[in-house]
Structure 1
């Protein structure tokens, strides 16, 4: 008779430690869905892998959102603590970015749904941008608290024009693109200074170094969507993204040795973003190099996401995730 209350107590305790960073999994899966969708379009393939992954991304978003909603209801103080944390707070905009990515993936199937997701995602992300930047200005942070997750709240604005170009005036798209690009430059200098010249980050944060790939990749996608073609500036963005892929792959031996953490999901969306950028570049220029790069990156991204999913499931089954840090 006491078994049920005990089980409920265990579930309640796990719910308390359900991290908001789990929304990064939705970003990763939806990013891969968009990558496959674009690849199938550009290379004229008849597969429906992109659609299947998009459905999986919707299911992941619903599951994570419902679970975190219960956490808000049952453990509101824990949510407040996360939102006030110098690292964890940066993952709250992962929810709004997830909506924007789902909008991008949905636009060819159901435009009205895509528009609704875009409006909610764009509005929520802009509000979170204002709140978090205001906090940076008014609170005192230590340099050791700075890490690549700081890109998420502000550089995420660059994602807004990708689907937004179909829904709103181009000047609105330029507005969000400009915000994200400006803060990418500032934060990159700050984060790189912290990474190179100060104590090493905690090992569970090392996967977030892959976030360096995301800003130039997403900026390339958004910029070419706005202007409609590739030019010198877009090439610079793409080649910066490729450089960071090569740099981080050269460190693969180090990353492989890391113990699993939820932050492993930081590998996924940046790789998806640079894959989408490479596909778009091939589509515009038809250079074979871009086609090979897009294909190779799609395979790499798919393998990484499969590994991260399996590692996540294993960690959950072994009670290694929803626990106090």
Structure 2
């Protein structure tokens, strides 16, 4: 997700090799479908649009899986690209959630169970394996200015498991264990994400913005923020009839008391990231696959805001959810179009190119 080209392979084309970063396009497309399906607003044609986007995400998942199987590269020795092994499990679960929300009956439940189980298992492996590899490989040791949004990718996946798993609780024979597991996944991801976000903030303060092509990854910070609000909202709803009081009532209270303050910080970070991105655009922001960071993380904030709007009935939050969805749809359109142009409509040289830096 760092470059739209592969350095060191002159004369080739983009897409001649696939890495885990390509699954970000599935995530970005799938979250549009999920966000459309959960908006607290009834608009004619919205459900049909959500269904089309879900089908597109499913087709894209199959395409990327096939391409990865045929010419995929692990990039486990690349300290940057290996972070994006968090993307495949999230892509699986995003399409699975869309299937449950928009797919047909019993098939939707069965398909989501398979996709959620596979995504959760892979996500837990990645959440441990990538940090472990960074901690035990001297050649992958990070410099003080190395922290970037991609470090969140391995640890955000369990939060996606928590949010999408909550949707499955009513559909399994004994939802209590699944519910408790999802809360554990949420805790794993939340505390790990807080550690990484602190490191990103420290890097920005002490080492400034850095290379322009890395700026879109700042938006990944919205992922664990928005997804955690969505997860606790859905888990609170799933507690009804599964856990006894006072735990079910406490879960409902937690969803609101955690959700609104966290949403506030997400909006603060979005404002900061917008200012940095606009500044970078003026200096020159080259297109790369990092641009997909403008989609999925923003989509999690849409679902978070929609969840809080549904929970509170607030017209302000409802309007904000709709406005954010419009931004998400605009971002997806731009990024998808540029991705197609860069990879299908014209040949692209794969020679290394220096990325412009943003002056401090």
> TM (normalized to structure 1)?
0.88
Give me the whole-angstrom Cα distance separating, in 2, the residues matched to 1:10 and 1:323. 5
1:288 aligns with 2:286: no
SS of residue in 1 equivalent to 2:210: coil
Equivalent position of 1:258 in the other structure = 285
- In the alignment, is residue 49 of structure 1 matched against residue 42 of structure 2? no
Given that residues 87 and 145 in structure 1 are in contact (C-alpha distance below 8 angstroms), is that contact kept between their aligned partners in structure 2?
no
Are the structure 2 counterparts of residues 269 and 14 from structure 1 closer, same or farther at C-alpha, using a change threshold of 3 Å? Answer: closer
Contact 1:210 1:248 in 2 (8 A): yes
Report the counterpart of residue 4 of structure 1 in structure 2.
Answer: none
The worse-fitting range, judged by mean Cα deviation, of 297-306 and 309-318 is 309-318
**Residues 156 and 224 from structure 1, CA distance in 2 versus in 1: closer, same or farther, beyond 3 angstroms?**
same
Q: C-alpha displacement at 1:85, in angstroms? A: 0.8
Give me the whole-angstrom Cα distance separating, in 1, the residues matched to 2:64 and 2:350: 13
Question: Quick check: 2:32–2:299 contact (8 Å CA) kept in 1?
Answer: yes
Q: 1:98 to 1:185 in 2, by over 3 A?
A: same
Offset at 1:102? 1.0
Give SS of 1:145's match: coil
Deviation at 1:14, TM superposition (A): 4.9
Counterpart CA distance in 2 for 1:243 and 1:324 is 35
Q: Measured at CA, do residues 312 and 255 of structure 1 come closer, stay the same or move farther in structure 2, by a change above 3 Å?
A: farther
Alpha-carbon contact 2:259-2:308 (below 8 Å) kept: no
Q: Is residue 2:267 matched to residue 1:242?
A: yes
Which ranges of structure 2 fall in alignment gaps of 5 or more residues? Answer: 1-8, 170-174, 238-251, 354-360
| Cα shift readout 1:25-70 (whole Å, capped 9, x = no counterpart) | 111000111001112xx32334211110000001111111111211
Q: Residue 319 of structure 1 aligns to a residue in which SS?
A: coil
Distance 1:113 1:182, change over 3 A: same
Aligned to 2:109: 111
Alignment match, 2:244: none
Is 1:38 the equivalent of 2:38? yes
Q: How far off is 1:137 after superposition?
A: 2.1
1:136–1:104 CA distance, 2 compared to 1 (3 A): same
User: What is the aligned partner in structure 2 of residue 90 from structure 1?
Assistant: 83
CA RMSD of aligned residues (A): 2.1
Aligned-pair distance for 1:323? Answer: 5.7
The alpha-carbon distance between structure 1 residues 233 and 202, as it changes in their structure 2 partners (threshold 3 A), is same
Q: Distance in 2 between matches of 1:290 and 1:200?
A: 31
TM-score (norm 2): 0.80
- Of 330, 337, 345, which residue of structure 2 is paired with 1:303? 330
The question of whether the paired residues in 2 share the 8 Å contact of 1:125 and 1:153 is answered with yes
Cα offset for 1:195?
2.0
Which structure ranks higher in relative contact order (CA pairs < 8 Å, sequence separation ≥ 6)?
Answer: 2
Q: Distance in 2 between matches of 1:321 and 1:121?
A: 34
The CA distance in 2 between the partners of 1:83 and 1:203, in whole Å, is 24
